[in-house]
């Protein structure tokens, strides 16, 4: 049945009932009674309609404060429909508010900066990442022109040229940003900023590493090729010279092999696919072996002593052997003859420690911070003389990171150096 019929049938029935009741009253009590009753009933009906109309007006003014009455007759249907509309509307509004809050939260957590501007670049809104990247303050700078806030010539040129399809690389306060403006809606633009400083640094480190590695490999290769050319061009070289050349070639070959092995070790240590397999390490046995190695390299040129006064620990045995051995062999290499070298294993309040103390050439302040960089050598000539690759301390650093340990370097030029490895207390093996 259609809505119009649903309205008119009961309404007509109600009117018919009034007329019928008046007719009956007329029949039994006369015309005056019938007309008087009809007027009374109609007055009540009109007052009731007015009352409902007033309730509706009140509710429309303050829908959240007042309640709609249940209503009578056609009003009950009208009120219940209005109620339903209102509830759906409230639900939609709550959903919208929640969605907006979620969207704002997501924008706040976004690592990329987002700035919303009008068509003439007045700031309307920005997220914290954009504020940090460009030095903006959403509250303070709202309504200001972005070109007045980001006073960078490249940025201004980018805006003037208006070639927004190509992103702009911007240097802001020692950070490198990729900035792009995207027009949206008729009169709004979004600016997105992406910080590429770290990615750029990693990229540069990778390039440096390849350049350094190639350079390091080229020197021994040049030497070997030189001798091979001599051997080819002068087949009748006297045996002593030939033996000398062969010896140098073998040395350079060995150097290349060490270099490649060290690079592979570094790659393995950095890779998450090579997890650390900790085992119980008998520190005295390990350090005795390293002491023997150091004495062999020193060949009685130094006094080397070992003091053990600390507990055994858990860790990657071969990794720690290589790290400790590098520190000890460095002390031997960079300490002149008759020098003194102490190896000390002890337990401090914070945890166990391994110190290598020498009274050798020492290292000046500006070099200390860079020692663990790959291929970094204080004195390239001397390090090459001692067959160093400059990767030793980089390997030490990576091994220690895997053990949550740290390296502390204390050194005074011409007086000597102390390299200390500090382990956390939880590395100690409880007996």
Site residues, Mg ion (CB under 5 A) = 326, 330, 392
Least distance (Å) between residue 285 CB and ligand ATP: 23
Distance CA 272, CA 259 (A): 22
What is the Cα–Cα distance from 66 to 377, expressed in whole angstroms? 82
Closest listed residue to residue 26, CA positions, set 12, 9, 38 = 38
* Strand partners for 177: 170, 195
Residue 389 binds ligand ATP, judged by CB under 6 A? yes
- Cα separations (Å) of 315 from 131, 289, 381? 44, 17, 35
Please give the residues from 262 up to 321 whose contact with ligand ATP meets the rule CB under 6 A: 262
Among 195, 216, 319, 358, binds ligand ATP (CB under 6 A): 358
Shortest Cβ 210–ligand ATP spacing (Å): 18
Structure token digits, residue 293:
């190695």
Site size toward ligand ATP, by CB under 6 A? 22
Q: Does 378 bind ligand ATP (CB under 6 A)?
A: yes
User: What distance in Å separates the CA atoms of residue 72 and residue 52, rounded to the nearest whole number?
Assistant: 9
Minimum separation from the CB atom of position 247 to ligand ATP (A): 20
CB of 392 to Mg ion, least distance (A): 3
Contact status: 363 vs ligand ATP (CB under 6 A): yes
Binding-site member from 146, 177, 287, 393 for ligand ATP (CB under 6 A):
393
Give the CA diameter of the chain: 157
Rule CB under 6 A: say whether 357 interacts with ligand ATP: no
Task: Pick from 281, 390, 402, 403 the residue near ligand ATP by CB under 6 A.
Answer: 390
- Per CB under 6 A, the segment of 40-48, 74-82, 104-112, 329-337 that binds ligand ATP is 329-337
- Residue 364 C-beta-side C-alpha neighbours within 13 Å: 3
The residue number whose beta carbon is nearest to ligand ATP equals 392
Instruction: Tell me if 189 contacts ligand ATP by CB under 6 A.
Output: no
Q: Which of 109, 115, 122 is nearest to 192 (CA)?
A: 115
As measured in angstroms, the least distance from the Cβ of 368 to ligand ATP is: 9
Partner from Mg ion, ligand ATP, none binding residue 360, C-beta < 5-8 Å depending on class: ligand ATP
Using the contact rule CB under 6 A, the part of the chain among 163-171, 183-191, 298-306, 383-391 near ligand ATP is 383-391
Binding test (CB under 6 A) with ligand ATP, winner from 25, 123, 287, 361:
361
Range in contact with ligand ATP (rule: CB under 6 A) among 242-250, 284-292, 345-353, 382-390 = 382-390
- According to CB under 6 A, which one of 371, 400, 407, 421 is a site residue for ligand ATP? 371
Q: Which is nearer to Mg ion, 362 or 392 (CB)?
A: 392
Least distance between ligand ATP and beta carbon 291 (Å):
16
* Nearer of residues 24 and 369 to ligand ATP, judged by Cβ: 369
Instruction: Give residues with Cβ within 8 angstroms of 59, minimum separation 6.
Output: 66, 67, 68, 82
Question: Can residue 379 be called a binding residue for ligand ATP (CB under 6 A)?
Answer: yes
- Give me the least distance between CB of 365 and Mg ion, in Å please: 20
Nearer to ligand ATP, 269 or 361 (CB): 361
Q: Does 325 bind ligand ATP (CB under 6 A)?
A: no
Q: Which is nearer to Mg ion, 113 or 392 (CB)?
A: 392
Is residue 377 a contact point for ligand ATP (CB under 6 A)? Answer: yes
Is there binding between residue 383 and ligand ATP (CB under 6 A)?
yes
Nearer to ligand ATP, 244 or 336 (CB): 336
Binding region for ligand ATP (CB under 6 A): 262, 326, 330-331, 334, 358, 360-361, 363, 371, 376-379, 383, 388-393, 417
């Amino acid at each position: 049945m259609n809505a119009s019929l649903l309205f008119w049938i009961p309404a007509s029935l109600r009117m018919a009932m009034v007329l019928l009741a008046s007719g009956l009253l007329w029949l039994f009590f006369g015309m005056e009674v019938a007309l008087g009753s009809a007027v009374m009933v109609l007055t009540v009906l009109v007052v009731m309609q007015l009352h409902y109309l007033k309730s509706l007006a009140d509710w429309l003014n303050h829908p959240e404060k007042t309640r709609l009455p249940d209503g009578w007759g056609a009003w009950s249907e009208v009120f219940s429909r209005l109620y339903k509309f209102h509830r759906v509307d409230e639900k939609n509004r709550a959903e919208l508010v929640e969605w907006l809050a979620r969207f704002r939260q997501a924008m706040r957590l976004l690592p990329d900066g987002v700035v919303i501007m009008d068509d003439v670049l007045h700031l309307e809104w920005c997220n914290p990442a954009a504020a940090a990247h460009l030095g903006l303050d959403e509250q303070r700078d709202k309504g200001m022109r972005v070109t007045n806030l980001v006073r960078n010539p490249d940025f201004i040129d980018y805006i003037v040229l208006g070639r927004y399809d190509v992103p702009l690389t911007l240097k802001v306060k020692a950070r490198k940003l990729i900035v792009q403006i995207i027009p949206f809606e008729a009169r709004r633009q979004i600016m997105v900023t992406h910080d590429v400083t770290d990615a750029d640094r990693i990229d540069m480190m990778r390039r440096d590493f390849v350049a350094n590695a190639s350079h390091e490999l080229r020197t021994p290769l040049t030497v070997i090729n030189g001798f091979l050319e001599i051997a080819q061009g002068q087949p009748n070289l006297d045996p002593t010279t030939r033996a000398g050349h062969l010896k140098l070639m073998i040395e350079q070959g060995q150097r290349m092999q060490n270099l490649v092995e060290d690079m592979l070790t570094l790659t393995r240590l950095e890779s998450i696919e090579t997890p650390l397999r900790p085992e119980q390490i008998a520190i005295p046995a390990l350090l005795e072996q390293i002491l023997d190695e150091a004495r062999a390299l020193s060949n009685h040129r130094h006094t080397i002593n070992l003091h053990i006064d600390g507990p055994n620990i858990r860790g990657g045995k071969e990794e720690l052997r290589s790290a400790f051995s590098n520190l000890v062999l460095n002390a031997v290499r960079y300490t002149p003859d008759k020098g003194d070298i102490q190896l000390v294993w002890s337990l401090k309040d914070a945890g166990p420690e391994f110190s290598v103390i020498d009274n050798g050439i020492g290292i000046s302040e500006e070099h200390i911070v860079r020692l663990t960089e790959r291929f970094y050598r204080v004195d390239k000539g001397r390090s090459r003389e001692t067959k160093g690759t400059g990767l030793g301390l980089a390997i030490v650093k990576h091994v220690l990171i895997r053990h949550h340990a740290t390296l502390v370097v204390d050194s005074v030029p011409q007086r000597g150096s102390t390299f200390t490895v500090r382990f956390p207390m939880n590395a100690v093996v409880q007996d």
